[in-house]
């Protein structure tokens, strides 16, 4: 019996710095029945050339947002399963194989754990932050999903610039069996760009209100500083310098997100 085709969808915009390593990690998967769809928002760097070198199918849609790009990639996918990645992610070699094995055993979506890899003071702080959460990155969710299920749920909510993956997990709820694997994604590498991250948090903040209205109970633990209370204190105490860096990061991230929230409310009130 032929193995199931897996479609990997990657939204991009000027991702040339990291995309090569991302695609190389896909090429090195032990599971080889794959197709790659890159949904590009109009890159002006080497993004599309790099994608072509790795045999990715490129869909160019100027100015498309990441959430909409995920839906476009899903619609264009030929695979039985869709795996949504970001261009600054790398996969351990067994990730796709373990996901497919889980689905063969009856699950319809799979959680892939994440680690962070970064150099410099802030990069090490971000890596420690992710490591300090009991179950890894609190944003970790079902990136690997049966295509029919994802489409049946209406795909990703394009009203959300952030939290679209959490929203998908809420849609699944307890109705569908979800699995988890041991192999992991490495998210980010190189020097941590705080300014870029703050701009990202600002954009995310502009869609927080929509997510909170949909899931007020869950949002309290996902979108507020309260979630840091779940971190492994013993690990933070053993790395005091990096723990201080986490405090700096979270302050900057939450302040940027707050500005986004206030900006969104101001525009809606006008």
Task: Identify the three-state secondary structure at position 28.
Answer: coil
Digit-coded pLDDT (tens) for 87-102: 999 999 999 999 999 9
Digit-coded pLDDT (tens) for 132-169: 876 555 555 789 999 999 999 999 888 777 777 777 87
Residue 227's pLDDT is 60
Within 8 A by CB and 6+ apart from 256, the residues are 197, 198, 199, 201, 202, 205
Six-digit token pair at 207?
């869609």
Cβ–Cβ under 8 Å, residues 77 and 163:
no
Q: pTM for this structure?
A: 0.83
We find that the CATH architecture of domain 6-190 is Alpha-Beta Complex (3.90)
Residue 234's pLDDT is 87
Cβ–Cβ under 8 Å, residues 36 and 55:
yes
Residue 1's pLDDT is 40
Cβ–Cβ under 8 Å, residues 43 and 14:
yes
Residue 54's pLDDT is 95
Give the length of the chain: 270
Cβ–Cβ under 8 Å, residues 215 and 169:
no
Residue 114's pLDDT is 86
Residue 87's pLDDT is 94
Residue 79's pLDDT is 96
Six-digit token pair at 202?
């600002």
- The mean pLDDT of the chain is 86
- In a structure prediction context, what are the per-residue pLDDT tens digits for the chain, which is 270 residues long? 458 999 999 999 999 999 999 999 999 999 999 999 999 999 999 999 999 999 999 999 998 988 899 999 999 999 999 999 999 999 999 999 999 999 999 999 999 988 888 888 998 998 898 888 765 555 557 899 999 999 999 998 887 777 777 778 778 876 888 999 999 999 876 678 889 889 888 887 877 777 667 665 655 555 555 566 667 888 889 999 999 999 999 899 889 988 988 887 766 665
Cβ–Cβ under 8 Å, residues 82 and 7:
yes
Query: Shortest CA distance to 14 belongs to which of 41, 54, 39, 51?
Result: 41
Residue 58's pLDDT is 97
């Amino acid at each position: 019996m032929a193995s199931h085709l897996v479609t990997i969808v990657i939204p991009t915009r000027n991702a040339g710095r990291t995309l090569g390593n991302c695609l190389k990690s896909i090429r090195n998967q032990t599971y080889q029945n794959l197709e790659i769809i890159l949904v590009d928002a109009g890159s002006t760097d080497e993004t599309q050339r790099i994608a072509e070198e790795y045999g990715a199918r490129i869909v160019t849609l100027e100015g498309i947002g990441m959430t909409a790009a995920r839906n476009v990639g899903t619609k264009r996918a030929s695979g039985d399963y869709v795996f949504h990645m970001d261009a600054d992610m790398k996969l351990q070699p067994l990730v796709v194989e373990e996901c497919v094995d889980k689905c063969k055993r009856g699950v319809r979506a799979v959680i892939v754990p994440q680690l962070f890899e970064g150099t410099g003071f802030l990069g090490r702080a971000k890596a420690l932050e992710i490591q300090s959460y009991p179950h890894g990155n609190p944003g970790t969710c079902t990136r690997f999903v049966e295509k029919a299920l994802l489409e049946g749920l209406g795909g990703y909510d394009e009203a959300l610039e952030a939290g679209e993956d959490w929203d998908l997990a809420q849609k699944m709820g307890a109705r569908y069996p979800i699995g988890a694997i041991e192999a992991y994604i490495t998210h980010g590498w190189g020097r941590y760009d705080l300014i870029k991250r703050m701009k990202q948090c600002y954009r995310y903040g502009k869609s927080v209100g929509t997510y909170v209205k949909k899931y007020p109970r869950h949002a309290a633990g996902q979108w507020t500083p309260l979630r840091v209370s779940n971190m492994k204190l013993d690990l933070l105490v053993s790395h005091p310098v990096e723990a201080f860096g986490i405090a700096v990061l979270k302050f900057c991230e939450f302040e940027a997100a707050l500005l986004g929230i206030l900006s969104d409310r101001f525009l809606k009130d006008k």
